[in-house]
Chains A and B, each alone.
Chain A
Amino acid sequence: MTIATKQNLESIVGAPRPAKILSVDRNTDDVWTLRLEGQGAFGPGQFNMLYVLGVGEVPISISGSPGKTDELLHTVRGVGGVTNAITSLKAGQSVGVRGPFGTSWPMAAAKGRDVVIVTGGIGLAPLRPAIYHIIENRADYGKVSLLYGARTPKEMLYADEFDSWRETGDIEVLTTVDAAIGAWDGDVGVVTTLIPRASADISDAVAMICGPEVMTRFTVAGLAERNQSKDNIYVSLERNMKCGTAHCGHCQLGPKFVCKDGPVFKFTDVAHWFEKREV
């Protein structure tokens, strides 16, 4: 799904528009979710360029429900100059927004199918719109398994929503951590160890993957072991982005501009380049 049309390009190519921050919620030690006034329709998996006056601009995925266009959610981890400036903002202030950019998760192609979502850390943020979409259109999808890994229990994103996703959303949520620091009686290990336990039929499911590249590589291999066809795998990729409009050249992966042709790709469309180092 591509939202941008020739008509609304001015605001996308040009300067960001200020969007008022309605509230800021802290998710973990270094992750905050900003709720902004809505910018209209977007597809799950799309991103905006967020700008802080005089500091800079970064690509950040939309993390709210595509069904709720009166608000715009962005979940941001403070790791650099711009993201730390964004997470320091308060309700009532404004953040600059350009977008939405890029491709979306294959919600239409997944209709009538089982869905397996594999993600780690902050990678859950760009998948939450897909999860919300599934919950809001639950009858359209078969069994849905979310396999989620985090470094430690307290770095687990949106953990307060998992029970409601399980109960009202009928979504299987399996979690694991790299290090069981604190009170944790759940699984320990990398996220791929959860694949054999998913109740969704992996061999026929549509897979949606977002995480560090090493996680994505091992997840694709792990799904293949369960007879998953690579044709059903979709991945969200990260590259340096300055413009969002395929002009700055930074986000290239082989012939693909990740900002325009991605960030969500059908895996087989990028495997040739993704499977090689330093491309």
Chain B
Amino acid sequence: MSTVMDVQAVYTLIDSLKSDGYEVVGPRLRDKALGYVAGTNGSDLPAGLGDDQSPGNYRTRDRGDGALFGFRSSPQSWRRWIFPPNAEVWSARRDNDSFVVDTSAPDSMKVAVIGARACDVAALTIQDKVFLDGQFQDPAYKARRENLLIVAVNCSLDADSNTCFCASMGTGPRVQAGHDIALTEIIEGDKHYFVADAQTDEGSRILEGISGAPAGTDEVAAADSAISNVADSMGRKVDADGLPELMNESYESPRWTVVGERCLSCTSCTMVCPTCFCTNIEDSGDLNGVATRTRSWDSCFTLRHSHIHGGAIRNTNKARYRQWAIHKMGTWQEQFGTSGCVGCGRCITWCPSGIDITEEVTAIREEA
């Protein structure tokens, strides 16, 4: 059953998460962008701030409406709290002619994300397939994942979606699965409220402690209509029908040469993508005989990513962009039973060349 909350109740929700022992990660203005930061208080939420995004461009702006969650895709998702950009995996020390490994206990910090977007929650469920559902499980990811609580916020405010295209990828703008609580923010004249729904027992328990009235049919309808409006007015889209097959047959397409000339192999798209999972391993040693293994985000756009003895497999920008795009939109399906793209649009916004994956897919489709 949905409840209706006011702005103050959202602040109370954050306080209650903190008193339950959660580290609260939420949106905040920092470095001229609206990104997710740990240690969030209600007063940190970017009230009245929004953003404008286009290929290769991001600017914040005043919305003039006091919306708490009036932003689109953040520069990076909050996945770094589940899948950190750099993490020590284990260390080992010399022991005569052998070595002894010290494995630290998995991280048990409870993290609550507030303001998670549907695309990023969908991305998390995709990463679950990579790290938890295969033949091998990643124990550190598993520990962090089990301690994660998600307060999602459906996209309901901005009809013009700029670079995102979640509706066509089937991941949003309404959060679908993997969250504990979903909020829908509604601003109508001087009315400003949130329709809240719990999805899990933990979500219900938390919402029970927050003051709110049962939602009426008008409020539920307003929320539904606002989300539908965002979905219907999304400026970009990908025709996902038969996409894996299309991409898998596209290796020889001349389009890859065209986009390869624009691609700088800068790795931006892979650093902002919420589903990219590649990592590099670095083993380092110190003068005391202690060696440390560190795992860091890596990118298929680097030369070393495909390095084997004798040279790299993918030498050209064309081959690296092609690998990334065909993987996201194509081969991911065979690997994990889902697309690797959630339509968050970050790769478009943060590409310094303004390469637009939706445009590239459309071009490939038109050629085929």
Contacts and interface: CB of A to CB of B under 8 A. Distances in A.
Interface of A: 2, 4, 9-10, 12-18, 20, 51, 53-57, 79-80, 92-94, 96, 212, 238-240, 242-243, 245-250, 252, 254-255, 257, 260, 272-273, 276-279
A14 B139 contact: yes
B281 A254 contact: no
18 contacts: A12-B136, A14-B139, A15-B92, A20-B98, A53-B289, A54-B286, A79-B309, A93-B98, A96-B92, A238-B308, A242-B281, A247-B138, A248-B278, A249-B278, A250-B278, A254-B248, A260-B134, A276-B252
Given A55-B283, A57-B281, A247-B138, A18 B131 contact: no
B184 interface: no
Interface string B94-111: 100111110100000000
A255 B283 contact: no
Contacts of B251: 273, 276, 279
Interface in B100-130: 100-101, 103, 130
B138 to A, nearest CB: 6
Interface of B: 89-90, 92, 94, 97-101, 103, 130-131, 134-139, 248, 251-252, 277-281, 283-286, 289, 291, 293, 298, 300, 304-310, 313-316, 318-319, 322-323, 326-327, 331-335
Contacts of B331: 252, 254-255
Given A248-B279, A255-B332, 14 more contacts: A10-B139, A13-B137, A15-B89, A15-B90, A51-B283, A53-B99, A56-B281, A239-B308, A239-B313, A240-B307, A242-B281, A247-B138, A257-B335, A278-B315
CB-based closest 9 A-B pairs: A54-B285, A249-B278, A54-B291, A278-B319, A245-B136, A94-B98, A255-B334, A255-B331, A15-B101
A4 B136 contact: yes
A239 B281 contact: no
Nearest to B276: A249
A257 B332 CA distance: 11
B278 A53 contact: no
Nearest to A241: B308
B285 A53 contact: yes
Nearest to A276: B251
Contacts of A249: 277-279, 298, 300
Contacts, number: 132
Question: Which of B281, B284, B332 has most A Cβ within 10 Å?
Answer: B281
Contact of A18 (B98, B281, B284, B315): B98
A57 B322 CA distance: 29
A131 to B, nearest CB: 23
A243 B137 contact: no
B97 A92 contact: yes
Nearest to A20: B98
A253 to B, nearest CB: 9
B278 A54 contact: no
A142 to B, nearest CB: 34
A57 B97 CA distance: 18
Given A13-B137, A250-B278, A250-B305, A278 B313 contact: yes
A4 B136 CA distance: 9
Contacts of A92: 97
Nearest to A2: B135
Given A51-B283, A279-B251, A9 B97 contact: no
A277 B306 CA distance: 13
Nearest to B293: A15
A54 B284 CA distance: 5
Given A93-B97, A254-B331, A4 B281 contact: no
Contacts of A20: 98
A163 B86 CA distance: 52
B309 to A, nearest CB: 5
Contacts of A239: 306, 308, 313
A133 B194 CA distance: 68
Contacts of B335: 255, 257
Contacts of A252: 323, 327, 331
B309 A260 contact: no
A23 B143 CA distance: 40
Given A14-B103, A254-B331, A278-B314, A246 B134 contact: yes
